[in-house]
Amino acid sequence: MSSDAFAQIRISEPADGDPAQTRYAFHSVTEQREIELAPDLSQQPSGLRSAAVMAGIKYPGVYDMTLVALDAPGPAAGIFTKNRSASSSVLLDREHLADGRGQALVVISKNANVFTPTDRADAERICSQAAELLGIAKQDVMISCTGVIGVSLPMPTVEAGLQQAAAALQPGLQDNVAKAILTTDKGPKTCSAAFGEVRIAGMAKGAGMIEPNMATMLVYFFTNLDLPADKLQASLQRISDRTFNSISVDSDTSTSDSLILFSTGAVPYSDALYADFEAALAAMMSKLSREVVFGAEGANKLIEARVSKAGDEQQARQVAKFIINSPLVKTAVFGADPNWGRVVMALGKPGQTRDYPIDPKGVVIKMDGAVLFSGGAAVPLDLAGLSARMKARKKLDIEVELGEGDAAWTAWGCDLSYDYVKTNADYTS
């Protein structure tokens, strides 16, 4: 990936930082202009069909199954959870993507198909049935399942839903496909982009059990640029590292996290188009990853933690994650409390590449642009006024200088509210 990929994107926030109103754009080398992302799936590639159905996996009358089929197999790549309790769907997709090709995607929501006596056999059966219905190779079918862990899939219901979905396939990515992959999400997360003949469309889900160690939750991209599978894989790894791998809701790594990109291969590869593709993908992953966090269970505010002057990049990343994952920091943000002492606690947590005591004189802590701590002492400030500003914002910036080097990293999290506890206290009931 070009080191300039993220340098080519522009993020425009409203005054209150509302992620829902934030705009994302990238500079196109081939068109020599700035291109703003569409917030929907309108700039999608041709050469694919999709359907979303209400199969009744857990509840009647809600979308819970998505089927997407490409007209022909094309380049495909994916990155997945590193959880040792990974689902059979994740394990199967890794096997199916080993040849760098893919043609179809089945997504089942409301049931994770994890840790049941038949989870592997059920995932295999779904891929086989989809392949039969579509007339394609089983190896080219990817599957994702999301929802409650430990409950067996109602296979007769699943198989009937899959038949219904195959019969309902329509050209293009239908709007309901982004709804059918959701569980406790507040709403669908989508975006798309176009430059020259290239089209890219993406959708994501995720609201809880989010501390990615690969990409995040369930994320799917579709393009028509004919990318070599190795380049595609490398792009996903590197761009997700600074986006999906830099977010957290609750520090819990899901068993089912998957990010998969499919290409129809209709547009011939060129280095210039590849540069634009990576810039577009960086903008899209930035948008979707932040929307996942802001739309998390019980979330009211997005937290952006920027750590600089760290000893090395690994430390900067660790400390940024410590800040966004701290329940005390998250609850302080929920209460609009500028309690910088909680940030001090978080930035000193063990497990860093530096294990000696932090020198307070080198530390600077800011919230919403206001300096709270510098030069080894608290900075006199109108804390009540800062609290009022924090309460009015939908995004809070926390900036920390460690004074130990030149490395930096940014991570995104959310506040922790009463609703998060309520949602997860009765999740299976």
Q: Which residues of the chain are in CATH 3.60.70.12 domains?
A: 6-294
Pairing type for strands 218-225 and 258-267 reads parallel
Helix locations, 65-185, DSSP H: 88-96, 119-134, 155-167, 177-180
Q: Which residues of the chain are in CATH 3.10.20.340 domains?
A: 302-425
Tokens coding 3: 């080191």
Q: So what's the pLDDT on residue 84?
A: 80
H/E element holding 239?
A: helix 229-241
Q: So what's the pLDDT on residue 214?
A: 40
> Buried b vs exposed e over 256-279: b needs ≥16 C-beta within 10 Å?
bbbbbbbbbbbbeeeeebbbbbbb
Q: So what's the pLDDT on residue 306?
A: 98
Over the stretch 13-62, which tens digit does the pLDDT of each residue have? 999 999 889 999 999 999 999 999 999 999 999 999 999 999 999 889 99
Q: So what's the pLDDT on residue 294?
A: 82
Q: Which parts of the chain have pLDDT scores under 70?
A: 1-3, 207-216, 250-254, 296-298, 423-429
Which is catalytic among the residues 66, 146, 216, 243?
A: 216
**CATH 3.90.420.10, applies to 6-294:** no
Task: Examine the residue annotation and report whether 428 is marked as an active-site residue of this protein.
Answer: no
Pairing type for strands 101-111 and 65-80 reads antiparallel
Q: So what's the pLDDT on residue 254?
A: 64
Q: So what's the pLDDT on residue 292?
A: 86
Q: So what's the pLDDT on residue 147?
A: 85
Q: So what's the pLDDT on residue 78?
A: 95
Rounded alpha-carbon distances, angstroms, from residue 70 to 43, 76, 104, 124, 203: 16, 11, 6, 20, 16
Instruction: Tell me the CATH number for domain 302-425.
Output: 3.10.20.340
Q: So what's the pLDDT on residue 206?
A: 75
Rounded alpha-carbon distances, angstroms, from residue 302 to 3, 62, 141, 324, 331: 27, 28, 35, 10, 12
DSSP secondary structure, 306-325, as one string: EEEEESSHHHHHHHHHHHHH
